[in-house]
Structure formats: C-alpha cells, structure tokens
Amino acid sequence: MPSSRTLSWHGSRCPAAPPPACALIAARSRACRPPRVPPALSASALLLQVLVTGLLLPLILALSWFILLYFFAGLIIILAIVLFFCCMLAACIWLYGEAGLYTLDALDGCARSLHNCTISTFAASGNGNVQSSYLAVAVVCNVILVAYVLCLCCWRHQISRTIAIVRECTAVFRAVPLLFLCPFIVMFWYAAMSVYLFGIGGYIITQGAAVWDHLTGLMSSQLGKNSTLDESRADFVSNAADSLVSRLSGLSTEAQVAVLLTIHVVGFVWSIFLIHACYYTTIAGTVARWFFASKRDDKPKSFGFGCGVISVSAWCVFYRHLGSMAFGSLVMTIMWFVQAVLHYLDKHTKNQQAANPVLRVVIKCSRCLVWMLYKSIEALNEFGYIFIAIEGCSLCLACRSVFQLLERKGAQVGTNKMVGGILSLIISFSIPSLCAVICFAWVTIEHGDVMPLWPAVAVFASAFLIASGVTEILRCSIDTIFVAAFLDLDAHGEPLYMSDRLMRGFGLPSQSSNEERKKLNVPHGVTCRRRRPTTGVTRAGPETYSADDTRDGRVSHSPHALRVTSL
C-alpha cells in the first residue's frame, strides 16, 4: 500500500504535492509565460501582417516616394544618376579584379568570399576559362560606363527638362490618386490568365489525344465550307484541308500534346501582351486628359479621385482601339516566339557549338540581335500607344508619328528613358526591400515560433509587383507628358496647355515672363534682349521660337538679358 504522501503513477512513485519552494517557482514561471494563442488566431494574425506589409505598406511607401519627388525631384534624380554611375564603376573594378588584372590584396573578406564563390561556381560548371569570361564582361561594362558618361555630358540640358517632367508627373498622381490602385487591376488579370494557363494546360496534358481528335474533326468539318468561293476553289480548299488533317492525324501522341501546348502558350503570351497594351494605353489616356483638361491661364480642373477619367480612358481603348492593341500585341508575341525558338536551339546545340565556334558565334549574335529588335519594337509600341491615346489614330499612323518624334527630339526621349529607368530601378527595389525587412521584424516579435523568412519572401514578391506597376505608371506618365507638350508646341507654336513649372523646366517663358513682355509691349513670338545701356530697350532681330527649331533653347533670367529661344 502506498503511503499517504505518495501516489502510484504507471508503476512509478511520485510525490503527491511539490514542496512549497518548487510550487512558488512554478507559479512564477506560469505568470511570466505569455498566454498561449490558439492556432487559428495565430494564423489569422500572421495573415493580417503579411497583407498589411505586402499590400498596404507598398502603396504608402510609393506615395511617400512621389511626395519626395514633388519637392526634391532635382536632388533625387541627380543623386540617382550619381549612384548608378558609382555602381557601374564598382562593377567594372570588381570585374577587372576577377579577370586578374590586379591582385585582391586591397579587398576585404567579403570580396574574397565572393571571389571564391564565383570561382567555385565556374569550376563546377566546367568552364575552364574563367578570367577570359570576366574580362569580356568587364570590357562590355566599361563600354556601357563610357557611353553613360558621354550621354550625361551631352544631355545635361535635357536632364533639367526631365526633372520638370517628373515633377509634373507627381501633379498627375495628386490630381488622379486612383492611379495608385491601377496595378491591382492588372495584377488581377495576370492572375486570372495564369489560372487559365495552368488549368487548360493540365487538361491538354491529361486529355491530349481526345482534344486533338476533337480539333481535327472540327477542322475537317468546317474548313472548305465557304459559300463565297466558287465550286472549283471550294473543292481545292476542301482537299487541302483534308490533306492537312490527315498529316496531323499521323503524329504521335507526344507530338500532338506538344503542338497543343505550344498553341496554348503562344495564345497565353498574346493575351498577356494585350492586357499590358490596354493597361498602358489607358494610363496614357488618363494622363493626356489631365494635361489637356485646362489651359495654362485657366484654373486647373478637378478630377475628384480620378475614377471617371480612368473609366472613360479604358472605355475608349476597348471601344475604339482594341484592334490596334491586338495588332501591337501580336507583333510582340511573334518577337517573343522567335526569341524562344533561338533559346531552344541554343540549349539543344551545346555539343555542336563546342565543336564549331562559328555556329556558336552565329547563334549568340542572332539571340543578341533579336533581343535588341524586341526591345526596340517594345519601345516603339509604347510610344505608339501614347499617340493612339492622344490623337485617336491607328497603330501604323502612331508609329509614323513616333519616328517623327525620334527624328526631332531623340535626345530628350533617350534622357527620359534613362532617368525613368534609373528611378524605376531604385523605387522597385527599395519599396519591397523595406517591406520585407519590416515584415521579418514584425513576425519575429509577434510570432517567435514561426520562421519569418517565408512571410518576408511573400511580402517582397507582392511589394515588388506593386512597386513595378507604380513605376510603370511613372514611366508612362513621363513619356505621355513629354509627347503632349511636344504636340502642344507643334500645334500652337506657343504653349497653350503647359503649366508654368513645366515651361520653366523646358526653357520657355513662364507666366511671369509673359507679364514682363506685356509691360515692354513686345508681341508674342518675338525675342527681346535687354542690353546694358540705360536708354530703353534695344531689340535685336525678330527671332521666333517653335517646336521645329532644334537648337537648345534656354531663358536667361539675369536683370540685363532676357532671351527666348525654342524648346
């Protein structure tokens, strides 16, 4: 029989009650321990943190960026240009060091570890000529750096105009704040198309033979039945259709599935390009409507939150310009398909390229040229969409206007693209990085038993998509405002819709300069120069300004010189 102070538990003997000191220590530990949260509440709190830091916080940070650009656009753009130059210079120095042109004694441990990691990576991949590869990349990076410096020296005046355009873009977001929510719309359509891609793709993989039989039967029953053709031509088309169906029916099951998947993927890519084209044209139409809403001397028009102007722009795209969007998307899809074919050939001819250096050079050069052509057509299409949104023309006429713009203002277009790309790069990586760090710290503090890495990765991906959408709106706004200003000058000679801050950035006389011209009784379009003699104003030749003039115009605001030239 156990004693009164002991109990039997699974055959072992344990005390009936702990000593008083042990009871006190256990009570204190239970009091200091945080209350246990139910798993459902913990998961919901974690999901709320991920949604706040992955959806709401990127919008707040993007708004903060645009507020900073409104007040400090010039300083931020100059710092961004200098930072990009420093990064490229550091990359060149590091690549030349890896190429063996100098020793790594001056580098720290981090650089040494990176060097060892890259060397081991190349050694694992079987590349024995590592330093030659580094040297080639370093030379290319050096050429890009020299070209970048030359562009900065040649485009210094264009950079000041780009600063004014960027500051004007912040005014667009202030007048139409719903532009910040447009990335969510395009993300929804991309997600829907992704569901379509994997759903229909899985169906094709599992039911490939049945789908192929259905399609071939449909082709044989429908092709050749055209009432507009005469009997002989209808028989020829019918025989050609039967021959095509018989040849397709002779393919193996794997080949049939591959053909169906190729058609499915190409259609998916075409749909993605079509969504992007409609989205880009809608943004361009919204910015253009804001620009031409009120004249320079009138009171700025209020758009509320911008729901009306965005809806009108979207309806105009879908109702009038869907054919142009589909055509531009088809061209981009064809270029993407050519790139995919060249990538497939490059991947499956590695052995032949190793034995034949000429074949390797041909394939690599072909991929490079096709990529350059792809990027050129992409930029041409984007400007074409802007002209479609402003002028309401077709894509072919819009592309002709784009070539005229590049012929007359190519330097300014290049500057806008360069500055917009640098700003997009900084904003697109600063916002998701900060959101991921905040999510990591928040999850670590609130949920100590949860690994914070995966929520931070999910937040980084979501914030990156939102930031990329916002920066795409910024780049579209920069190009749209420049094109609208170009058309304003080209149509009226003297700006009619440009604001005073944009005119000052373009080197044109603002409202205050026009008031001074009225006091001096100088007509519009005539340049006056005030000289040092105190006997009145001496005019020096009637020089007019217009958008056709390609000289680099500036306005001198000194008290002894007032000179007006063209854009």
What would the DSSP string read from start to end of 46-106?
A: HHHHHHIIIIIHHHHHHHHHHHHHHHHHHHHHHHHHHHHHHHHHHHHHHHHHHTTSS-STT
- Which of 197-201, 319-323, 403-407, 529-533 has the lowest average pLDDT? 529-533
433 pLDDT more than 70: yes
Reply yes or no on whether the pLDDT at 340 is more than 90: yes
557 falls in which pLDDT band (50, 70, 90)? very low
pLDDT range class, residue 549, cuts 50, 70, 90:
very low
Confidence bin at 27 (pLDDT 50/70/90): low
For residue 283, give the amino acid letter: I
CB 545 within 8 A of CB 527: yes
Spatial neighbors of 157 by CB under 8 A, at least 6 apart, are 507, 552, 554
Task: Please report, for the chain, how many H helices and E strands are present, in that order.
Answer: 18, 2
Q: Find tokens 């190793």 and name the residue.
A: 354
Confidence (pTM): 0.77
pLDDT score of 149: 92
The residue among 148, 151, 143, 156 whose CA lies nearest residue 86 is 148
What does the pLDDT read at residue 118?
Answer: 52
3-state secondary structure of 479: helix
Average pLDDT along the chain: 77
Is residue 329 very low, low, confident or very high in pLDDT (cuts 50, 70, 90)? very high
- Judge contact between 422 and 169, C-beta under 8 A: no
Rounded mean pLDDT, 51-65 = 91
134-144 pLDDT per residue, tens: 888 888 888 99
| pLDDT of residue 384 exceeding 70 | yes
For the ranges 48-57, 98-107, 287-296, 379-388, the one whose mean pLDDT is highest: 379-388
Q: How far apart are CA 195 and CA 27, in angstroms?
A: 54
Q: Is residue 30 over pLDDT 60?
A: no
Residues 285-303: tens digit of each pLDDT: 999 999 988 766 666 666 7
Q: What angle do CA 528, 165, 489 make, to 5 degrees?
A: 45
> What is the CB neighbour count within 10 angstroms for residue 248?
16
Q: How far is CA 66 from CA 79, 107, 180, 427, in A?
A: 16, 38, 11, 10
The 8-class DSSP code of residue 36 comes to P
Q: What is the pLDDT of residue 524?
A: 46
**Encoded amino acid at 554, one letter:** R
Residue 278 pLDDT greater than 80, yes or no: yes
Average pLDDT over residues 439-451: 82
